[in-house]
Chains A and B, each alone.
Chain A
């Protein structure tokens, strides 16, 4: 066990380093890091479910909801504050997840995966059919204000980066605390043996419902931040290939730590962008080969590189 000073201090140092690096980086790298952090939030949300044994192939539902909530917040409700848009994305995603959770927490394994995918494709279908929202072309978002300040150009980019990094850091820290609590550990317990959890007096469905809403809120935050950073949203955000990409990155990252999704997301974005630049006709093969290599040589994901010693996991 490490002391609390190290547990809080080290991540905080990392966070300060990230913010500082954000100011030093060239613009393109800052943008990729920003997108990696925003998408990392969605991967983090998948990790939370994976720890409880659930794989969602429909996290694009909440990613897309968060993005569209932020987009419509600007264009319909005329909200320009970035934090308010973020809150809106989180709230809408969380509220929808709370309703859908009553149904989805009854299912496990492939049934849960397929049903979550189905819901994300319903959102996709609705968005594609609504020409008022631009159908597949989507629509643009103006640059928001930050705590009332209207930045322009590079200053706005820096502000967005600081916001996204702060949200990612806060979310990771809170989730780390949650996962270390009794309620958090219920996830692993449920994955191992649901009946035993019920015998111990905990409600499996109740615990999963909370995790599902939390995970949707995280994905909604990721979607809202991506929308604000990109300045454009379209139904592809909710498409099943987007959801699949998040599962891909979650497997690449591993579920060992709350930092893993962000690391995995960054590595994935970097591999993909250089594959785009250097083999424009075969970039998919480069990404696929990386995935195969990781699965073969690092079954625990990229995070296994940072493990001090291999931990033996015994399963019944």
Chain B
């Protein structure tokens, strides 16, 4: 119970009950304080992810599951080294979970509630780029440590700079830069590309990044058609016809969720996959659901070295097994990204706390978080951009192959790209960087 509630309630009550209420509150408070003195300190984390709506199934729920798993594992100290101490700098995690649905006005309201009503110590959340853009300035106003774990738009740290805000997931530019590099290497004979993307910010940005990257890598490549059906359209007959008439060598789509599954089934029946390379830039979450229905040879990205692209390591092996044992489904990239956010927070808190044996102040955590490098199930993450607030990581693209004998999706011809090869250097905007022909990129 917070003080304001007691005060506002006391206006409504006659005098005598007020005294009783105050006495009771004081008694409760002292009891609570007394019992807390013996317990370990607490770290209250607000978690915001889609629990309803179209993005809940493919991203929101897998992310929430990962959060649940990480909170329990960190509190019990069962995460492999270097994260095997109990809690975060000795503090046990408590969570408040909020649905990301309802639009930006609602999310700004709920962010304020988390900070000012629930008194959380930090917030981890946000899948939608719109929500990230809207919440970002509020983190500065309320001066509260906030970690964006998934949203993709590079605009967050390219258009502004923030003190209290960090993003542990690399932004969306590297998805399509890596995909373009992969196609330039594996399909050098391709002369034309086409795009099929949902008509909203994610689809428009993904296509722009991919088109500019292909034009930079293969000057003179022609664009056959750019299709922008609306988000959640479900039926793609007309778009598929346009693609079949145009006969592009490469088809790019950033579809996700039910749209992606619908498109794959409809396009496959009409032979879209037969004569060309089809790239599903965010296709990874669908592979376990669709299995053999995705044709072999489809090129798929996972927005980083997540999921099947994650290299074996103690951390990754533990995460995959713990996640599978608990939820009976393998973790997808949204799960990995949520786990990365928790590990980043743990690494930053413990770096700030080193040697003191106390939970560090927010200022100390922020200082420790800037330019932090930490190990994750997806490999090393470095807070290299946005004055040390925006992460970069390696990326991987692979060719899909369904292993019929094992009944498992797999990737062949996987190519890994170093973080500096697919992310712009500090201080350069993504679009300008791609147009400059990836000036300053370090590829091995």
By a CB distance below 8 angstroms, the chain A residues around B204 are 131, 135
By a CB distance below 8 angstroms, the chain A residues around B113 are 28, 32, 273, 276-277
Whether A196 sits at the interface, judged by CB under 8 Å, is no
Interface-forming stretch among B23-31, B92-100, B175-183, B239-247? B92-100
Contact A137 B130 (CB under 8 A): yes
CB-CB under 8 A for A277 and B109, given A28-B117, A137-B129, A231-B137: no
Binary interface encoding of chain B residues 276-299 relative to chain A, with 1 for a CB under 8 A from any of its CBs, else 0: 000000000000000000000000
Contact A231 B201 (CB under 8 A): no
By a CB distance below 8 angstroms, the chain B residues around A105 are none
Contact A128 B99 (CB under 8 A): no
- Shortest Cβ distance from A275 into B: residue: B99
Contact B116 A276 (CB under 8 A): no
Contact A137 B201 (CB under 8 A): yes
By a CB distance below 8 angstroms, the chain A residues around B36 are none
Whether B308 sits at the interface, judged by CB under 8 Å, is no
Whether B153 sits at the interface, judged by CB under 8 Å, is yes
Set B108, B115, B205: member contacting A231, Cβ < 8 A:
B108
Per the bound structure, the CA–CA distance linking A273 and B113 in Å amounts to: 8
Contact B153 A137 (CB under 8 A): yes
Whether A280 sits at the interface, judged by CB under 8 Å, is yes
- Shortest Cβ distance from A135 into B: residue: B201
Distance in angstroms from B421 CB to nearest chain A CB is 26
CB-CB under 8 A for A273 and B130, given A28-B116, A137-B155: no
Contact B199 A138 (CB under 8 A): no
Contact A280 B98 (CB under 8 A): yes
Binary interface encoding of chain A residues 265-285 relative to chain B, with 1 for a CB under 8 A from any of its CBs, else 0: 000010011001100110110
Contact A242 B103 (CB under 8 A): yes
Interface of A is mostly: helix
Interface size classification for chain A: 35 or more
Per the bound structure, the CA–CA distance linking A230 and B439 in Å amounts to: 38
Set B96, B105, B133: member contacting A226, Cβ < 8 A:
B105
Whether B4 sits at the interface, judged by CB under 8 Å, is yes
Binary interface encoding of chain B residues 94-130 relative to chain A, with 1 for a CB under 8 A from any of its CBs, else 0: 0011110011111011101101111000000000011
Per the bound structure, the CA–CA distance linking A234 and B135 in Å amounts to: 13
Set B52, B98, B142: member contacting A284, Cβ < 8 A:
B52
Work out how many contacts link A and B, with CB atoms closer than 8 A: 110
Interface of B is mostly: helix
Binary interface encoding of chain B residues 384-427 relative to chain A, with 1 for a CB under 8 A from any of its CBs, else 0: 00000000000000000000000000000000000000000000
Whether A139 sits at the interface, judged by CB under 8 Å, is yes
Contact B200 A136 (CB under 8 A): yes
- CB within 8 Å of B: which of A1-36? 25-29, 31-32, 35
Whether A194 sits at the interface, judged by CB under 8 Å, is no
- Shortest Cβ distance from B136 into A: residue: A140
By a CB distance below 8 angstroms, the chain A residues around B115 are 28
Interface size classification for chain B: 35 or more
CB-CB under 8 A for A277 and B118, given A234-B130, A242-B103: yes
Distance in angstroms from A64 CB to nearest chain B CB is 11
Set B112, B130, B134, B230: member contacting A31, Cβ < 8 A:
B112
Per the bound structure, the CA–CA distance linking A25 and B2 in Å amounts to: 12
Binary interface encoding of chain A residues 208-248 relative to chain B, with 1 for a CB under 8 A from any of its CBs, else 0: 00000000000000000010001111101100001000000
By a CB distance below 8 angstroms, the chain B residues around A283 are 99
Set B52, B104, B153: member contacting A236, Cβ < 8 A:
B104
Per the bound structure, the CA–CA distance linking A283 and B110 in Å amounts to: 13
Whether A176 sits at the interface, judged by CB under 8 Å, is no
Distance in angstroms from A268 CB to nearest chain B CB is 12
Binary interface encoding of chain A residues 32-53 relative to chain B, with 1 for a CB under 8 A from any of its CBs, else 0: 1001000000000000000000
Per the bound structure, the CA–CA distance linking A286 and B112 in Å amounts to: 21
- Shortest Cβ distance from A236 into B: residue: B103
- CB within 8 Å of A: which of B127-180? 129-130, 133-134, 136-138, 141-142, 153, 155
Contact B117 A135 (CB under 8 A): no
Per the bound structure, the CA–CA distance linking A234 and B141 in Å amounts to: 21
Per the bound structure, the CA–CA distance linking A149 and B110 in Å amounts to: 28
12 sampled A-B residue pairs with Cβ under 8 A: A25-B4, A26-B2, A28-B113, A128-B200, A131-B204, A135-B201, A135-B204, A136-B202, A137-B155, A231-B137, A236-B130, A280-B99
* New A-B pairs, 10, CB < 8 Å, besides A29-B4, A137-B155, A276-B113: A28-B115, A131-B204, A135-B204, A137-B201, A226-B105, A231-B134, A236-B103, A272-B102, A280-B97, A281-B51
